[in-house]
Amino acid sequence: MAEHPDLFDFNDTKTIGLFKDETPGVSKKGMEEMATDTYMPSLKGSLLYDPIDKSSLSEQKAMRADADFMTLVYRDCLFSKEVFHAKNVGFRSKDHILSLVESEKKALCPIDTKRWILSNGITTLPYFHWHIMFYKNMVKNSIPYEHAEKRAMRAKLPEKYLNECVLTSTVLKESTNKITLNCIIVPIGSLHGLQLGEVTPVVTVNKNQTVSVLEVAIQNTLRAPFNSVRLKLFQTPDEMRMQPQDLVSSFFNTQHRLEHYHIIVHLLQE
């Protein structure tokens, strides 16, 4: 930011083409991003405007008086489980009339519902992580929660299970690359004689494979002698020719709606 001040909007003028200064006047160096656009600066001194007479305060309250105000907010959210709300003003359109609407939204919340939170309130694990299963089993065996968590986090997975985890990860990755495609075959020439139920095959292939693999998958849905007939494939709705050496992902990178036909299949005339 300091090296390229001409690229940032320091005065919040909403100028198109300039980056927003999300922490006005404060460098992001040394910051922790607790959530999207939610930063915790490591500032020295206090952000409180009015000086506080600390002589009448307890040691703990005096320490809080010295701390940064935003640091206290984040700390209370993380460790005291406090929920903070903030007012938000935004544009709304109703009946073609623009208006400003003020609403109250949850700004900081200690609960991360997408991950398993450890007792320190900071460290998280993805749900169904093996550390969590290990922890639950120890709790079932009457081991105190705190000791069970410490032992679970120190535990190491045996090598044989590590290999299984790698295999499971590979299987999951392959399953995410699978795509299901609806085809419709034009029954002319050597394909004449296909039954009504045979001209609309549904195939599932790995989208990182070539179109030639897709052709074989379609052939495998047909009975003899039709399963040996060479085919040429076209993507709908533009009927773009799918060359055998092309990757399926170049035509279908995501799963399309299953109620539509995705491929038109013609006889390949040599």
- Asked if 201 and 143 sit in the same domain, the reply is no
DSSP classification of residue 119: T
Rg value, the chain, Cα: 31
- CATH number for the domain harbouring residue 226: 3.10.20.90
- Asked if 145 and 191 sit in the same domain, the reply is no
Residue 173 near residue 181 (C-beta atoms within 8 A): no
User: Would residue 102 count as lying in a domain?
Assistant: no
Residue 204 near residue 214 (C-beta atoms within 8 A): no
Q: Look up the domain containing 192 and give its range.
A: 176-267
User: Would residue 23 count as lying in a domain?
Assistant: yes
Residue 149 near residue 135 (C-beta atoms within 8 A): yes
User: Would residue 105 count as lying in a domain?
Assistant: no
- Asked if 123 and 199 sit in the same domain, the reply is no
Instruction: Decide which of 171, 191, 215 is a domain's last residue.
Output: 171
Vertex 126 angle, CA 143 and 73, to 5°: 90
Angle of helix 130-140 relative to helix 145-154, nearest 10 degrees, comes to 140
pLDDT of residue 162: 58
- Asked if 58 and 81 sit in the same domain, the reply is yes
- Asked if 127 and 161 sit in the same domain, the reply is yes
User: Would residue 121 count as lying in a domain?
Assistant: yes
* CA separation for the pair 179, 34 (Å, rounded): 36
- Asked if 207 and 161 sit in the same domain, the reply is no
Residue 268 near residue 233 (C-beta atoms within 8 A): no
Over residues 131-188, the pLDDT tens digits come to 888 888 888 888 888 888 888 888 876 666 656 555 555 555 555 788 889 999 999 9
pTM: predicted TM-score of the whole model, two decimal places: 0.39
- Asked if 214 and 254 sit in the same domain, the reply is yes
- Asked if 167 and 183 sit in the same domain, the reply is no
- Asked if 45 and 17 sit in the same domain, the reply is yes
pLDDT of residue 62: 55
Nearest to 257 by CA among 179, 194, 175, 197: 179
Instruction: Decide which of 171, 198, 218 is a domain's last residue.
Output: 171
Instruction: Decide which of 171, 197, 215 is a domain's last residue.
Output: 171
Residue 61 near residue 72 (C-beta atoms within 8 A): no
Local confidence pLDDT in tens for the 270 residues of the chain:
566 777 777 777 777 777 776 665 555 554 444 454 554 544 443 333 444 454 554 555 555 556 667 778 887 887 788 888 888 888 888 888 888 888 888 888 877 777 888 888 778 888 878 788 888 888 888 888 888 888 888 887 666 665 655 555 555 555 578 888 999 999 998 898 898 888 999 999 988 899 999 999 999 999 999 999 999 999 988 888 999 999 998 998 877 777 788 999 999 875
pLDDT of residue 43: 40
Q: 231: buried, middle or exposed (CB in 10 Å: 19+, 13-18, 0-12)? A: buried
Helix (H) or strand (E) holding 167: helix 159-176
User: Would residue 91 count as lying in a domain?
Assistant: no
- Asked if 150 and 196 sit in the same domain, the reply is no
User: Would residue 109 count as lying in a domain?
Assistant: no
User: Would residue 160 count as lying in a domain?
Assistant: yes
- Asked if 185 and 152 sit in the same domain, the reply is no
Please give the tally of structural domains in the chain.
3
- Asked if 150 and 136 sit in the same domain, the reply is yes
pLDDT of residue 67: 62
* CA separation for the pair 255, 173 (Å, rounded): 15
User: Would residue 107 count as lying in a domain?
Assistant: no
